[in-house]
């Protein structure tokens, strides 16, 4: 039957954060619990899938318990279970999906599978009540770099993607090469504030057969070649200048392509999503260029840029709303067996 005050228990375990949240009516976050594994993976220079999966198994029941407690609800108050089904690390996803299936089956609740990237896009709706489709969204993270046109809450068109490295992946690789370590994005962001972004001119790639698509392997290789040449000639490398110049090359391309899409499609609202959307240089330049073009920019708080379950709960709510808000787990889409994992 239809009802108001829909409470969704959402689970996210696609990479190295074990997260659970309770979200009411799509935009009201009653709790958002995240157990991060960053410190554990830092010693390896990146995420180790097997370790991530094992930590999810250890943590998932605790984050769910904490999410319910912080929201001051019980399982009886929950109307549906939502879970990220992909893309992501298959072993990590299996933990979250398995837990969600067990809860949905045991509690006789509908189960809603959510695409991870859709969740990131919907993170913008949590804090920006005025944001409604259509809008252009730049999705930029360690595994994805895309531009989507959100035509409606459940109607997305991907108009741009990366042909090689994701922007966040390039950040991680460059950070590792200069000794900043993992995670590369925040460390480059911090170091770049101390450097000159115009000290070195790194290339900004254009894809010949697509005006919107990205390519970051070239600028990453240019940074590595610069370091190799300096090492051979004995030239001292100013790390802060190098990463500031690299960051400028990446950020300018991300902003230019996003603005180009918004103008070409005559859409006035622009949003950003994903871990790299918390980069201060990207936020600053995107804000500046949107102001120049008369566009309205939205982006989530950093806590909603990283992987979290609140964004999954938000996306799940609009999936339910699209189905008419009938909470009936006899419908095929919401049966426990209907959800399976989807890796990278």
Taking residues 221-249, what's their average pLDDT?
Answer: 95
Taking residues 46-54, what's their average pLDDT?
Answer: 88
Query: Which pLDDT score, from 0 to 100, does residue 338 have?
Result: 47
Query: Which pLDDT score, from 0 to 100, does residue 68 have?
Result: 98
Q: Report whether pLDDT(298) > 70.
A: yes
Least confident span in 34-43, 234-243, 310-319: 34-43
Taking residues 193-215, what's their average pLDDT?
Answer: 92
Query: Which pLDDT score, from 0 to 100, does residue 40 have?
Result: 79
User: With contact defined as beta carbons under 8 Å apart, do 188 and 175 qualify?
Assistant: yes
Query: Which pLDDT score, from 0 to 100, does residue 343 have?
Result: 52
Taking residues 38-51, what's their average pLDDT?
Answer: 82
Between these two residues, 296 and 45, which has the higher pLDDT value?
A: 296
Q: Report whether pLDDT(344) > 70.
A: no
* Mean of all residue pLDDT scores within the chain: 91
Q: Report whether pLDDT(282) > 80.
A: yes
Query: Which pLDDT score, from 0 to 100, does residue 332 have?
Result: 47
- Name the CA radius of gyration of the chain, rounded: 21
Beta-strand pair 7-12/80-86: parallel
Taking residues 167-177, what's their average pLDDT?
Answer: 93
Residue 290: partners with Cβ closer than 8 Å, 6 or more residues away? 259, 270, 296, 297
* Helix-then-strand count for the chain, H and E: 11, 10
Query: Which pLDDT score, from 0 to 100, does residue 41 have?
Result: 85
Query: Which pLDDT score, from 0 to 100, does residue 4 have?
Result: 77
pLDDT band with cut points at 50, 70 and 90 for residue 2: low
Q: Summarize pLDDT for 317-341 with one digit per residue, the tens.
A: 998 887 654 444 434 444 444 444 5
Distances (CA, A) of 14 to 1, 64, 162: 32, 16, 20
User: With contact defined as beta carbons under 8 Å apart, do 243 and 193 qualify?
Assistant: no
In the chain, the domains with their CATH numbers are 7-121+305-338 (3.30.420.40), 132-302 (3.30.420.40)
Q: Report whether pLDDT(3) > 70.
A: no
Q: Summarize pLDDT for 64-119 with one digit per residue, the tens.
A: 999 999 999 999 999 999 999 999 999 999 999 999 999 999 999 999 999 999 99
């Amino acid at each position: 039957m239809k009802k108001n005050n829909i409470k969704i228990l959402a689970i996210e375990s696609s990479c190295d954060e074990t997260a659970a949240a309770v979200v009411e009516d799509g935009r009201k976050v009653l709790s958002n619990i995240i157990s991060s594994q960053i410190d554990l993976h830092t010693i390896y220079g990146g995420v180790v899938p097997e370790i991530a999966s094992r930590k999810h198994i250890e943590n998932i029941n605790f984050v769910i318990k904490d999410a319910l407690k912080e929201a001051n609800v019980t399982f009886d108050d929950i109307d549906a279970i939502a879970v990220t089904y992909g893309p992501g690390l298959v072993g990590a996803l299996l933990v979250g999906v398995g837990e969600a299936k067990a809860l949905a089956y045991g509690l006789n609740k509908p189960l809603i599978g959510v695409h991870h990237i859709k969740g990131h896009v919907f993170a913008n709706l949590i804090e920006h009540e005025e944001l409604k489709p259509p809008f252009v969204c730049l999705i930029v993270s360690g595994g994805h770099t895309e531009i989507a046109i959100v035509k409606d809450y459940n109607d997305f068109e991907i108009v741009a993607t990366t042909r090689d490295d994701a922007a966040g992946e390039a950040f991680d690789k460059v950070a590792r090469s200069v000794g900043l370590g993992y995670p590369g994005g925040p460390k480059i962001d911090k170091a770049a504030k101390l450097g000159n972004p115009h000290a070195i001119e790194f290339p900004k790639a254009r894809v010949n057969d697509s005006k919107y698509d990205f390519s970051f392997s070239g600028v990453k290789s240019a940074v590595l070649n610069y370091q190799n040449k300096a090492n051979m000639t004995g030239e001292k490398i100013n790390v802060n200048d190098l990463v500031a110049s690299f960051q400028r090359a990446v950020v300018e391309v991300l902003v230019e392509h996003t603005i180009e899409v918004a103008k070409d499609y005559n859409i006035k609202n622009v949003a950003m999503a994903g871990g790299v959307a918390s980069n201060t240089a990207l936020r600053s330049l995107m804000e500046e260029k949107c102001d120049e073009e008369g566009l309205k920019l939205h982006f989530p708080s950093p806590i909603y840029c990283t992987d979290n379950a609140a964004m999954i709960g938000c996306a799940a709510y609009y999936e339910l709303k699209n189905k008419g808000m009938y909470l009936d787990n006899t419908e095929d889409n919401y049966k426990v067996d209907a959800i399976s994992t989807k890796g990278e």
